[in-house]
């Protein structure tokens, strides 16, 4: 919270002008502060025809190591395309399948604010976007519809087609939002490690996603699966939450399956014997809940491409299920709403091919004056439909509260 409070207490004329301008920008939560990227010289809108060329990353001149990167997101749909997995006809808002930006300015908010830019002049067209909530939120799935999908997946689990599967619930309303205001309010109450915000001329994303899917530096790659959720109350702290997870059969099964799957995902691209659990089964605390987490690392094999890494690791197993490919096919056959950004990935690819990506969950997508908040909970053999249905609301709660 320290860096959030500093943002609130210290006045910076450049930042104030930037926030009030119509400039597209990205805010990204870093380990010790925030990076704000803007003055984008390139904007690559991904589609099925250009995704392979984008991932080749050839002939890029290096100029400034702090600006030599593309930052943006892959949608769920484009990731399924890379895996050659079909999606049935769904309700769509025709949102982008992915966008990556090349920044020419980064503002680093740490103990002090530092601006790195290739621009000699910074011009701002001042605008003000007031939040307007035009309709109340509605769920795309009420409990009876959710239970029908739950029962179908439970049958598939008993038949051995999948071991765990995540059902997505969407909360939608008609609204216009000020994403910068939403983001800093969210950081005050729920500053998750992989939080980010994108503001562009025709859409915005506000997210407190907690999970690091890919952290690649040189040949070393790390993933941090989260599998296990516990609603906070007075009787739980981190220690008692850990005891709960370790003694709960359903949570332990779910966690072990996801950890095994992501170890396998890493093993496809890493040197034999290099994939190891770095930190096993610990608890992270958030505003409304506790999470059960494990960190896994490995060393990439020679000649592994960016595309190889993306295909092996995305979409993140902890928000899809296990085994990944068959589970994706089952999901795409049952879900009637397009996931858009949900269970896609946001992050950056540096020109030296280092990369960091999260799993996009706990996020608001605002597009064409509509907002959608998505959440998903896991179904395993021991799951209860009412509990999983209610867990989706717990996960979405901190985002829905921004609209009050």
pLDDT at position 7 over 50: no
pLDDT at position 385 over 70: yes
Beta strands in 302-369 (DSSP E): 321-322, 345-350, 355-358, 363-367
Q: What is the mean pLDDT of residues 118-131?
A: 83
pLDDT at position 9 over 60: no
For the ranges 111-125, 200-214, 352-366, which has the lowest average pLDDT? 111-125
pLDDT at position 343 over 90: yes
The answer to whether the beta carbons of residues 101 and 24 sit under 8 Å apart is: yes
Q: What is the pLDDT of residues 23-52, one digit of tens each?
A: 999 999 998 899 999 999 999 999 999 999
For the ranges 11-20, 121-130, 257-266, which has the lowest average pLDDT? 121-130
Q: Spelled out in words, what is the top-level CATH class assigned to the domain 2-403?
A: alpha beta
pLDDT at position 135 over 70: yes
Residue 251 in tokens: 């949570």
Please report, for the chain, the start and end positions of each structural domain, with discontinuous segments joined by +: 2-403
Instruction: List C-alpha distances in Å: 297 to 175, 187, 188.
Output: 41, 28, 31
Q: Give the integer Cα–Cα distance in Å for 251 and 289.
A: 14
The answer to whether the beta carbons of residues 98 and 342 sit under 8 Å apart is: no
Q: What is the pLDDT of residues 173-191, one digit of tens each?
A: 999 999 999 999 999 888 8
Global confidence as pTM = 0.92
């Amino acid at each position: 919270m320290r860096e959030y409070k500093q943002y609130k207490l210290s006045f910076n004329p450049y930042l104030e002008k930037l926030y009030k301008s119509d400039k597209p920008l990205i805010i990204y939560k870093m380990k010790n502060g925030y990076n704000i990227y803007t003055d984008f010289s390139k904007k690559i809108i991904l589609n099925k025809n250009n995704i392979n060329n984008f991932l080749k990353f050839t002939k890029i001149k290096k100029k400034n190591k702090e600006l030599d990167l593309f930052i943006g997101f892959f949608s769920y749909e484009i990731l399924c395309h890379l895996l050659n997995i079909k999606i049935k006809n769904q309700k769509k808002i025709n949102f982008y399948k992915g966008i990556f930006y090349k920044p020419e300015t980064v503002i680093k908010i740490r103990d002090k604010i530092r601006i790195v830019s290739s621009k000699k002049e910074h011009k701002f067209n001042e605008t003000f976007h007031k939040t307007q909530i035009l309709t109340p939120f509605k769920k795309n799935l009420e409990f009876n519809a959710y239970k029908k999908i739950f029962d179908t997946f439970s049958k598939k689990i008993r038949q051995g087609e999948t071991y765990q599967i995540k059902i997505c619930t969407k909360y939608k309303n008609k609204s216009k939002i000020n994403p910068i205001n939403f983001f800093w309010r969210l950081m005050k109450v729920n500053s998750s490690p992989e939080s980010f915000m994108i503001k562009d001329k025709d859409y915005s994303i506000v997210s407190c996603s907690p999970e690091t899917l890919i952290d690649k530096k040189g040949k070393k790659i790390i993933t941090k699966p989260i599998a296990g959720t516990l609603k906070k109350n007075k009787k739980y702290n981190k220690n008692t939450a850990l005891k709960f997870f370790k003694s709960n059969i359903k949570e332990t099964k779910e966690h072990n399956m996801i950890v095994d799957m992501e170890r396998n995902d890493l093993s496809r691209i890493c040197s034999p014997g290099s994939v190891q659990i770095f930190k096993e089964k610990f608890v992270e605390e958030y505003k409304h809940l506790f999470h059960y987490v494990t960190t896994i690392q490995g060393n990439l094999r020679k000649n592994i491409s960016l595309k190889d890494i993306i295909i092996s690791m995305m979409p993140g197993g902890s928000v899809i299920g296990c085994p990944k490919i068959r589970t994706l096919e089952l999901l795409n056959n049952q879900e009637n709403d397009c996931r858009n950004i949900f269970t896609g990935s946001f992050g950056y690819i540096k020109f030296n091919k280092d990369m960091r990506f999260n799993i996009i969950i706990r996020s608001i997508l605002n597009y064409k004056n509509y907002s959608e908040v998505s959440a998903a909970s896991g179904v395993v053999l021991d799951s209860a439909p009412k509990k999983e249905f209610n867990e989706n609301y717990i996960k979405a709660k901190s985002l829905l509260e921004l609209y009050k």
